[in-house]
Amino acid sequence: MSGPTLEDAAAWLKCRVCGCTEQAPCSRPCSWAQEDLCDLCHRAAGALAEWTLGAHRPNRAALAREVEARVNSLFRTMAPRRCAGREAMHD
């Protein structure tokens, strides 16, 4: 292969947290906060950091349950688009 161009470099970008790439971005199209961190994960980490510093008792297990509940309710609102293929979703 010839030397990498800027476009090739962009094609190699991959978020170290969620694994999104230029070719397979997050479902809400994201941009790069750092060269290997997308802005969606960057904002999530920032929110989590604020929570960790600010919460009276930052209980990550309890927070994970809250996130799960939120995801489930969001999933229900999105369900009509993907209810048929849920079992078929694999990487």
Can you give the binding site for Zn ion, defined by CB under 5 A? Answer: 15, 17-18, 20, 26, 30, 38, 40-41
Q: Which CB, 12 or 15, lies closer to Zn ion? A: 15
- Least distance to Zn ion from the beta carbon of 78, Å? 17
Q: How many angstroms separate the first and last alpha carbons of the chain?
A: 28
35 neighbors 12 (Cβ within 8 angstroms): no
Token readout for 6 is 């800027």
Q: What is the Cα–Cα distance from 44 to 71, expressed in whole angstroms?
A: 14
- Least distance to Zn ion from the beta carbon of 17, Å? 5
Q: Which CB, 32 or 63, lies closer to Zn ion? A: 32
- Least distance to Zn ion from the beta carbon of 43, Å? 10
